[in-house]
Structure 1
């Protein structure tokens, strides 16, 4: 067993107000808790990892090149490997979510971007 304390977990803030916290995981899967301020959107991007995005609080809109879905509390969406997408907080309050990636990944995905 390998417990991870939220307060001691590795944290990364790609942009002001957009915080990601690495939770328990492995090379096969990883969990990232995140918060997004109102109006914030990640850039359109893709990655080799499949992704499940779960909205824990607030409102998130997940858009691909061809469709868009609004997630409310406890709603989720699955994104295929290499599917171009963005995640936006379309609500008026800070949104909290959880991303699950398979295979697992580190924050290098964001820190090594050009």
Structure 2
């Protein structure tokens, strides 16, 4: 068994106001922490990973084709592999969420930038 502590000092700002921290990664999945300041945005993208997440503070609005879905505290979400999406914090509160990816993302692009 391995453990990982949330590395607050090791967050990477991937877009203005969008901070990610890589947490544990195993053979079949990985987990990361997401912090988005009000007004911040993750541009439209897709990836081959399935993504599930859980919001525990604030709200995250997903932009999917011609639809938007807002997820708030205590809610979880699932994005299919290759599902095109963007994410925004349209609220007044900092968003805090956990994302899990399968297959794992032990070395995501944002860690190399």
TM bucket (normalised to shorter chain) is 0.7 to 0.9
Partner-residue secondary structure (3-state), 1:39: coil
Unaligned runs of 5+ residues in structure 2 are none
TM-score for both structures, normalised by structure 2: 0.87
Partner-residue secondary structure (3-state), 2:42: coil
Unaligned runs of 5+ residues in structure 1 are none
RMSD: 2.1
Offset at residue 90 of structure 1 (A)? 1.3
Q: Could you tell which deviates more after superposition, 2-11 or 38-47? A: 2-11
Q: Is the 8 A contact 1:9 1:22 kept in 2?
A: no
Using a 3 Å threshold, how does the CA distance of structure 1 residues 64 and 112 change in structure 2: closer, same or farther? Answer: farther
Offset at residue 45 of structure 1 (A)? 0.1
Offset at residue 68 of structure 1 (A)? 1.6
Using a 3 Å threshold, how does the CA distance of structure 1 residues 107 and 38 change in structure 2: closer, same or farther? Answer: farther
TM-score for both structures, normalised by structure 1: 0.87
Q: Which has the higher strand share?
A: 2
